[in-house]
Structure 1
Amino acid sequence: MKLRCGKHYNFHQIKPCQGCVLCKNNHLDTSIKYMNRLTKEQFQIEDNFDCDAKRIVYLISCRTCKVQYVGQTKSTLKKRFSGHKTGLRYGNEPKHVLKHFTKVHQPSDMIIKPLVYVNENESLNEVENQMILKLNTLYPYGLNDRLEKPKYLDAQKTFNENGCIYKLFPIFKKKECLVRSRGSKANKRINCNLDVDVLFLDLK
């Protein structure tokens, strides 16, 4: 909505119920804004959400360091978050999510935000992939370990084989990025059209 002063005001909201575990323990991120943590570009939600929202793409963030993971669900947001918490407890979460919220930081640091509803005639996988690229959450810059489309990509394998994940992100146009040297645990810099100030390789 455009105000008389010329500014736009967003009336959308993420509303907690205060009755479920997700909301009572403040794991629901109710801010209408979200950000690409590398470029600092900000975005706003364009729908109204609550913990019962279904068929959505969501964003998991760490309270402590803000590292991000993009996911999708056909079930309710609170049920999907419960699934993530159970996965952390029994060790069957996506590998970078599991490592971060059990070894780097704590399960209590995990918060979740609904980003967008996905219509029945749209592909959840496709919208999820769009958000992964929009927010640059592929490992080692985030906690997503793969892309499903336009063709399958294993981020960990690409990184280990000296590949540059940032070639997927055309908005970056500058100097270099960090990659893993073959046969070494050290990182090195190569030219790959990158325009970010800090790369969070250790996800701390």
Structure 2
Amino acid sequence: MPDTPGTYPCNRVRCNTCQVVSHDRFLSVVGPNNNRFNINQHFTCTSTNVVYILTCRRCTILYVGETKRRLADRVTEHLRSIKQNFPGFPVANHFNPPSVCSIQDLMVTAAISCRGSDRDRLIAENRLIMKLGTLTPNGLNVKLELL
């Protein structure tokens, strides 16, 4: 159902993101500060202009990000940074040794659809980072984006 809240696979052939989307069972996210964010919109891997949350299923640490492009395109970049173990990338660092967490623990949830400008999307991302408390050391976000 297109109006059912949650993040769903797009089921496109060769979509790398379908395997890591949270699916419909993940309708809220609780941050390390115990604040809850409820997902009340419908998303797929092909959704654009979104604020998204990466979750480690093993340790529940979170990363909040944003993209103007398709969610699948941005998540593919995260997957590539993990597989190639890019130094200095907080998400890649978390899912590679010496961490016990691996790429199989990664889950993505689209959280907010942003129909405005790039600035509006950055504001929404910053607000969600603050609401969930995902700045390091409690989360994987290193800084708030400057507006």
Decide: shared fold, TM above 0.5: yes
Task: Give the conservation status (yes or no) of the 8 Å contact 1:57–1:115.
Answer: yes
Q: TM-score, normalised by structure 2?
A: 0.83
Partner of 2:21: 28
Distance 1:146 1:50, change over 3 A: same
By relative contact order (CA 8 Å, sep 6+), the higher-ranking structure is 2
Q: 1:107: how far off?
A: 1.5
Q: TM-score, normalised by structure 1?
A: 0.61
Partner of 2:136: 139
The alignment partner of 1:112 has SS state of strand
Structure 2 residue 90 is the aligned partner of structure 1 residue 108: no
Distance 1:93 1:33, change over 3 A: farther
Task: Give the conservation status (yes or no) of the 8 Å contact 2:85–2:93.
Answer: no
Task: Output the CA distance in 2 between the equivalents of 1:125 and 1:78.
Answer: 19
Task: Give the conservation status (yes or no) of the 8 Å contact 1:28–1:111.
Answer: yes
The alignment partner of 2:58 has SS state of coil
How much identity, in percent, do the aligned residues show?
28
Task: Output the CA distance in 2 between the equivalents of 1:60 and 1:28.
Answer: 9
Partner of 2:57: 63
Task: Give the conservation status (yes or no) of the 8 Å contact 2:63–2:139.
Answer: yes
Q: Greater shift after overlay, 122-131 or 109-118?
A: 122-131
Distance 1:106 1:148, change over 3 A: same
Task: Give the gaps of 5 or more residues in structure 1.
Answer: 1-9, 151-204
Compute the RMSD of aligned alpha carbons. 2.0
Task: Give the gaps of 5 or more residues in structure 2.
Answer: none
